[in-house]
């Protein structure tokens, strides 16, 4: 069952629930893997760090209040293997980010995918990855 | 038939003699109690290998490159996540495992890794991310990227640490020998732990025999037998695989868990986060300065 978290949700047909890899460093039980959240906003910061990277996106909510959403991702080597370089996300650029939100309602989520302004999609899930203009990308069979 | 019996008898005597000659073992009753089965397994493999291959630089197998674990994080890769284990657990450890799974369903899950402790061995085998082998005739290093944990496997003929110097170690005390291109390893003196989240626990009496070999250009296989008289009613045999990673410009770098760790354990045993802007948040951009200093009392 989908849980309402924010005004911007993915429909059931766009569920990304099964797409997040297991985290080695901590339990993911705090996240609601049955809920998907979508945040459209501006990149504030991309912490390309271990044990996890964090992408912070500034968005304006329905009440007109500015909110910083944090999206937790895997560390640098896992991101690089997915083609997500540190230079991939720059402060100030517009993005739409999907993830599984925290169960307690605070503005953070487990990152699933980032859609950039050029239509490309960044994700550690190869099935979600897209090139410029949303074109499919070739996925290597070698990890 | 007679020749076979004679050979078997010689082998048996040799195993006993070799076993009692390993430094620190002969007089160690506790060692025999906890590790005898795995030691016998290891020494039988050594006996079968004619004492092991005398390794030289020109004979070393090529295990260069970057590797990662295949098949998820289950110690037995044939079992899907969160399904019952194939380990035959003692009643105490079976009860612990069942409670762990029940707690997990309630969202109550905590991992010592979140305190930035090492994975430790044998859990170390199940961790994802990057790996690397440094192979020398007298020693093999097997490195994981996560927390830069290194297993040192001594192949120079030394035995385990004497019992009066031994204590539980994160990566254990590993000795080994080469059987051709296969590295055979015996590991004792480990810390207690779990194979990974949602998987059984093991005690600090766990010991492991491994046969590690490259099965093709892109795969290294580890044939693993775990002995643990406290957690297992019989040895647990699994095979883990590690596959080559070929991403351009990928390197193994220092992996600091403290760099960006804002995970905490709640009072009810769950895992939770301190978010940016909340009290107690450790900003990775300000680590060099250290945490905010507490208020200083006003001296009179």
Of B127, B260, B271, the CB nearest to A49: B260
Q: Per the domain annotation, does A22 fall within a domain?
A: no
The ipTM (two decimal places) reads: 0.85
The residue-averaged pLDDT of B8-27 equals 45
Cβ(A27)–Cβ(B197) under 8 Å?
yes
* Measured CA distances, B26 to B11, B45, B160, B169, B232 (Å): 18, 20, 11, 21, 25
Residue A127: which CATH number? Answer: 2.40.50
Q: Does A103 touch chain B (CB under 8 A)?
A: yes
Place of tokens 């680590």: B287
Q: Per the domain annotation, does A141 fall within a domain?
A: no
Helix (H) or strand (E) holding A81: helix A76-81
Kindly state the DSSP code that residue A20 receives in the 8-state scheme: P
Alpha helices in chain B (DSSP H): 2-21, 29-48, 91-105
Alpha-carbon distance of B66 to B64, in angstroms, equals: 7
Contacts of A30 in chain B (CB under 8 A): 107, 270-273
Query: Among A22, A23, A27, A110, which would you mutate to test the B interface (most chain B Cβ atoms within 10 Å of its Cβ)?
Result: A27
Contacts of B68 in chain A (CB under 8 A): 143
| Residue B8 pLDDT > 50 | no
Q: Does A78 touch chain B (CB under 8 A)?
A: yes
Of B110, B263, B275, the CB nearest to A70: B275
Q: Give the total number of structural domains in chain A.
A: 1
Q: Does B250 touch chain A (CB under 8 A)?
A: yes
Contacts of A142 in chain B (CB under 8 A): 218, 244-246
| Nearest partner of B184 among B212, B206, B156, judged by Cα | B212
The residue-averaged pLDDT of A41-66 equals 96
Q: pLDDT tens digits, residue range B62-76? A: 999 999 999 889 999
Indicate the average pLDDT of chain B.
89
pTM of the model: 0.86
Q: pLDDT tens digits, residue range B275-294? A: 999 999 999 999 887 766 65
| Nearest partner of B186 among B202, B174, B200, B199, judged by Cα | B174
A35: domain range?
29-134
Distance from CA of B190 to the nearest CA of A (A): 20
Cβ(B141)–Cβ(B134) under 8 Å?
yes
Cβ(B202)–Cβ(B192) under 8 Å?
yes
**Interchain contact, A51 vs B68, CB within 8 Å:** no
Cβ(B212)–Cβ(B222) under 8 Å?
yes
Alpha-carbon distance of B212 to B221, in angstroms, equals: 6
Q: Per the domain annotation, does A10 fall within a domain?
A: no
Q: Per the domain annotation, does A102 fall within a domain?
A: yes
Residues 98-157 of B with CB under 8 A from A: 104, 107-111, 113-114, 116, 127-130, 145-146
pLDDT attached to residue A3? 43
Q: Per the domain annotation, does A105 fall within a domain?
A: yes
Q: Would you place residue B87 in the very low, low, confident or very high pLDDT band (cuts 50, 70, 90)? A: very high
The residue-averaged pLDDT of B236-242 equals 98
Cβ(A47)–Cβ(A87) under 8 Å?
no
**Interchain contact, A81 vs B243, CB within 8 Å:** no
Distance from CA of A116 to the nearest CA of B (A): 23
Distance from CA of B68 to the nearest CA of A (A): 8
Q: Which residue of chain B is at minimal alpha-carbon distance from A71?
A: B275
Question: Going by DSSP bridges, is the β-strand pair B173-179/B201-202 parallel, antiparallel, or unpaired?
Answer: unpaired
Q: Would you place residue B22 in the very low, low, confident or very high pLDDT band (cuts 50, 70, 90)? A: very low
Q: Per the domain annotation, does A117 fall within a domain?
A: yes
Q: pLDDT tens digits, residue range B159-173? A: 999 989 999 999 999
pLDDT attached to residue B17? 45
- Over B164-197, what HEC string results? HHCCCECCCEEEEEEECCEEEEEEECECCEECCC
* Measured CA distances, A101 to A34, A110, A141, B168, B202 (Å): 9, 6, 30, 39, 33
Q: pLDDT tens digits, residue range A83-130? A: 999 999 999 999 999 999 999 999 999 999 999 999 999 999 999 999
Cβ(B300)–Cβ(A95) under 8 Å?
no
Q: pLDDT tens digits, residue range A7-50? A: 354 433 344 433 444 567 889 999 999 999 999 999 999 999 99
pLDDT attached to residue A21? 47
Of A26, A53, A80, the CB nearest to B113: A26
**Interchain contact, A50 vs B271, CB within 8 Å:** no
Residues with Cβ < 8 Å from B203, sequence gap 6 or more? B93, B192, B228, B230, B231
pLDDT attached to residue B296? 64
The residue-averaged pLDDT of B197-219 equals 97
**Interchain contact, A26 vs B130, CB within 8 Å:** no
Q: Per the domain annotation, does A95 fall within a domain?
A: yes
pLDDT attached to residue A62? 87
CA gyration radius for chain A?
Answer: 14
Q: Per the domain annotation, does A14 fall within a domain?
A: no
Distance from CA of A71 to the nearest CA of B (A): 10
Helix (H) or strand (E) holding A94: strand A94-101
């Amino acid at each position: 069952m989908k849980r309402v978290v924010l005004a911007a949700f993915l429909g059931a047909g766009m569920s990304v629930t099964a797409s997040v890899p297991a985290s080695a460093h901590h339990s993911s039980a705090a996240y609601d893997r049955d809920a998907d959240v979508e945040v459209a906003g501006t990149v504030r910061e991309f912490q390309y760090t271990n044990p996890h990277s964090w992408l912070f996106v500034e968005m304006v909510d329905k009440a007109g209040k500015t909110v910083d959403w944090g999206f937790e991702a895997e560390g640098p080597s896992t991101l690089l293997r997915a083609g997500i370089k540190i230079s991939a996300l720059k402060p100030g650029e517009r993005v739409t980010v999907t993830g599984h939100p925290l169960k307690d309602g605070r503005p953070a989520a487990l990152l699933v995918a980032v859609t950039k302004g050029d239509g490309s999609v960044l994700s550690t899930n190869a099935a979600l990855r897209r090139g410029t203009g949303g074109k499919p990308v070739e996925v290597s069979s070698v990890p | 038939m007679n020749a076979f019996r004679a050979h078997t008898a010689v082998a048996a005597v040799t195993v006993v003699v070799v076993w009692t000659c390993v430094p620190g073992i002969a007089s160690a009753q506790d060692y025999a109690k906890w590790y005898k089965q795995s030691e016998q397994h290891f020494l039988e493999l050594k006996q079968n290998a004619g004492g092991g291959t005398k390794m030289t630089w020109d004979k070393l197998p090529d295990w260069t490159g970057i590797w990662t674990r295949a098949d998820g994080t289950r110690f037995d890769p044939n079992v899907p996540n969160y399904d019952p284990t194939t380990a035959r657990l003692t009643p105490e450890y079976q009860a612990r495992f069942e409670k762990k799974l029940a707690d997990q369903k309630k969202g109550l899950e905590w991992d010592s890794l979140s305190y930035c402790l090492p994975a430790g061995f044998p859990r170390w085998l199940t961790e994802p991310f990057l790996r690397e082998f440094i192979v020398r005739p007298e020693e093999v290093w097997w490195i994981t990227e996560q927390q830069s944990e290194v297993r040192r496997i001594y192949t120079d003929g030394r035995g385990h640490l004497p019992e009066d110097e031994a204590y539980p170690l994160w990566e254990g005390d590993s000795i080994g020998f080469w059987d051709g291109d296969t590295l055979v390893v015996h590991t004792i003196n480990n810390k207690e732990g779990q194979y990974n989240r949602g998987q059984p626990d093991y005690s600090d009496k766990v010991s492991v025999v491994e046969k590690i070999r490259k099965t093709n250009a892109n795969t290294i296989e580890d044939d693993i037998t775990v002995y643990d008289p406290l957690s297992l009613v019989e040895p647990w045999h699994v095979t883990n695989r590690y596959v080559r990673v070929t991403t351009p410009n990928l390197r193994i770098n220092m992996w600091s868990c403290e760099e960006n760790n804002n995970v905490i354990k709640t009072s009810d045993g769950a895992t939770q986060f301190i978010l940016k802007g909340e009290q107690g948040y450790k900003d990775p951009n300000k680590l060099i300065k250290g945490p905010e200093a507490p208020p200083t009392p006003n001296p009179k």
